[in-house]
Amino acid sequence: MTNKLDLFFGAMADPTRRAVIEQLASGPATVSALHEPHAMALPTFMRHLKVLEKSGIVRSIKKGRVRTCHLAPTPLVEVQGWLAWQRTVWESRI
């Protein structure tokens, strides 16, 4: 469980990966479409996608030669719990 939160927050701790999540929030997208806005080599970009997949935030399906990514249908339960807890703690402080 601890490890899942580590992976989740670690995945979020990068602007490229957060941008991918923001893009996928509007719907599934191919790897090419996700890569396009980022000025980096494809292999570098693929490493970011791998981190997102490993964290459980993003899933992907390969159809022929095209890989399409989408946000996981639900966030990890542990993450939901932690974020809700944080919200409570911090909202009570504002």
Q: Which residues make up the interface to a copy of itself (CB under 8 A)? A: 2, 5-10, 12-15, 18, 21, 25, 71, 73-75, 80, 82-83, 86-87, 89-90, 93-94
Q: Is 40 left (phi over 0), alpha (psi -120 to 50) or beta?
A: beta
Residue closer to a copy of itself by CB (options 66, 88) is 88
Task: Name the minimum Å distance from CB 42 to a copy of itself.
Answer: 22
Residues 9 and 92: their CA atoms lie apart, in Å, by 23
Residues 67 and 94: their CA atoms lie apart, in Å, by 43
**What are residue 61's phi and psi, to 5 degrees?**
-130, 135
Task: Name the minimum Å distance from CB 36 to a copy of itself.
Answer: 19
Residue closer to a copy of itself by CB (options 6, 36) is 6
Task: Name the minimum Å distance from CB 65 to a copy of itself.
Answer: 28
Residues 67 and 63: their CA atoms lie apart, in Å, by 6
Task: Name the minimum Å distance from CB 85 to a copy of itself.
Answer: 8
